[in-house]
Amino acid sequence: MHTEEAQSMKGFCQHGAVSTYDHVMNVVRLSYYLNKRFRLGADMRSLVVGSFLHDFYLYDWHDNDGTHRLHGFTHPQRALSNASRLFALNEKEQAIIRQHMWPLTFRAIPSCRESMIVCLSDKISSAIETLFHRK
């Protein structure tokens, strides 16, 4: 996870004043906490890897050039493609990345507990970042 591409997420704005890198780290921490606190029994390695790579799309979706209008719908597949190119992902890690935008991507329903945990953690983190970490 110390690749140049992963570090590049520090340069992309995610929500408010929060970078994509900081956002995925927030999701990693919250996913870890929820799994431990509620004894959900998730595969910890898959949970951490999938939560770190769930937004590995590697662009600033706020660019106003029209290319990212459908970002919410399309970025999970872009993130999965980028992550698969650089890392050997297991099925759960792939599912986490592909399914984290449910219910927006209504056909990509979380299929494992790890995917559901990251999906929930992403929503909570995004709401907090948007509401309380403004520029």
Chain position carrying tokens 């906490």: 33
Distance CA 43, CA 47 (A): 6
Parent domain of 25: 4-132
pTM: 0.92
3-state secondary structure of 40: coil
- Return mean pLDDT, the chain: 90
Among 47-61, 85-99, 102-116, where is mean pLDDT lowest? 47-61
CATH code of residue 99? 1.10.3210.10
Average pLDDT of the residues in 77-99: 97
How many domains in the chain? Answer: 1
Helix-, strand-, coil-residue percentages of the chain, each rounded to 5: 60, 5, 35
Average pLDDT of the residues in 62-77: 74
pLDDT band at residue 8 under the 50/70/90 scheme: confident
Q: Cβ distance 25 to 34 under 8 Å?
A: no
pLDDT band at residue 42 under the 50/70/90 scheme: very high
What pLDDT is stored for residue 87 in this prediction? Answer: 96
